[in-house]
Chain A
Amino acid sequence: MKKSNENNRKIPLPLYNSLPIIEIIGNREITIEGSTGVLKYESDNIKVNTKSMVVSIEGRNLQLKFLSSSSLVVEGVILSLEFIM
């Protein structure tokens, strides 16, 4: 437990703020908090821009279920997730 805490401390604290919070339910729904915009919107590929990276979602019948200025929800059959730094 102690070792785990020590590992966490290796990431500088300000960097946490710029990282998106990503939550995946199976391979059917993905929630990204901290998005700054949609870069690509197609039914088989959605690219979402965040402060520190681009999240690329590949799959089938993908669509935006919810979208606000800082978060979004994508649903569909998610086949792969790629982080482009």
Chain B
Amino acid sequence: MIIKILRFLRGYVTFSAKGNFTERLINIISNKGMLYWDILPEKGGVTLSMPIKDYKNLHHYLYGKGIRTKIKSRHGLPFIKQKYKNRVGILVGGLLFAVILILLSNFIWIINVKGNNEIPDSRVIQVMRDNGFYEGVFSGSIDVKSLEHKIIGEIPEIRWMSINITGCKADIEIKEGYKVPKIVEKNKICNVKSKRDAVITEIRVSGGTARTKVGSAVIKGQLLISGVTVSEDGKSRLVHADGEVYGRTKYEKTFKVPKSSVVNNPTDNVMVRRRCNIFWLSFPLDFKPITYDVYKSITKKEALNINGTDLPLSLTEQYVTEMERKESSLKENKKALRQQASVYEVFNFKDKEIETRKENFYEDKNNYYLKINYTVIEELSETSEIIVQ
């Protein structure tokens, strides 16, 4: 292999020699110590390969011997150089390519987050970005250990993490921590009371004595499970009352929107603007200005993906939809009120089950109203410590 490389660097020719007594050629090159290889007999002569320098000298020795040589093929770097002598651009381009390749290989272009189930990738990447680690950062400027400590400090859910940098790729391996269960202080003497007015639907007692039963109505603060238990011999004992008590409760909520409210409705006019992102550079592929006064914009980014790895080459598409401003109709107002109600339910009835909801629309001079009466099944228990002096 090394010999082949050396031959390539020096350059060589494969030629045929024909004429009278071509064996003399073999004797000349062996006696003069010339380099040659692949010497093969052929009809009326021989073919062989030799370096350019020796081939040039050979003509001097063959003079007057009646042997003619003909080059069959030329190989090696000197011939390539000769071919591209007048095309400096290729050399410059090649050098530029090498320089850019070396330069860009010192940056981080791909960040992969692995091992996370609960913590979203975006959160980890955002925190890392805030700490100076992002796609396009110079890899020599990163203090991996210090960065790992910072990230663990800022995301307490992470139990362990490791940043492995391989060339231009950074693999972030994460081990998430375990959720600490709620510690029940069994030694603390307490009662369980109701936190709302309700009708009891289910009682599960795991400590203490139930003081109510299914179907009973209770008011806020009423004792549900007592921490005082009486044994068979009549002696009373203070314990940690514990259990789950479910009840049917009622909520009422009124939402309102002004009658003169303005809504934005999307029209059929949609404009797509594209941008190309290469590394940290982003440039537009079209120069369409946004001509709409009121618009809604949705941006989608798609990176070039090879074998599951996103490359630092992506296309961003911005969908701009023209919006039409107009006075809201009754239908739209009802929709807006229902949307308010949905948001309210998501945040306020997270751990509760809505049994029934009764809607009532009404209006006055200025506003539309939506009054909803909810019947909800919820957990009522609330511990109340018994202080014994």
Contact = CB atoms under 8 A, between A and B. Distances in A.
B27 A64 contact: no
Contact size range, A: 10 to 19
A38 B39 CA distance: 13
Interface string A17-50: 0000000000000000000011111110000000
A64 B31 contact: no
Nearest to A72: B30
B41 interface: yes
A67 interface: yes
The B contact surface, by secondary structure, is: mixed
Contacts of B31: 69
A38 B27 contact: yes
Nearest to B38: A63
B41 A38 contact: no
A39 B31 CA distance: 14
Contact of B41 (A63, A69, A72): A63
A78 interface: no
Contacts, number: 31
Contact size range, B: 10 to 19
Interface string B33-71: 100000111000010000000000000000000000000
B23 interface: yes
Interface string B13-27: 000000000110011
Contacts of B26: 37-38, 41, 64, 67
Given A38-B26, A40-B23, 15 more contacts: A37-B23, A37-B27, A37-B30, A38-B23, A39-B23, A41-B23, A41-B26, A41-B41, A41-B46, A63-B39, A63-B41, A67-B30, A67-B39, A69-B30, A69-B33
Interface of A: 37-43, 62-64, 67-69, 72
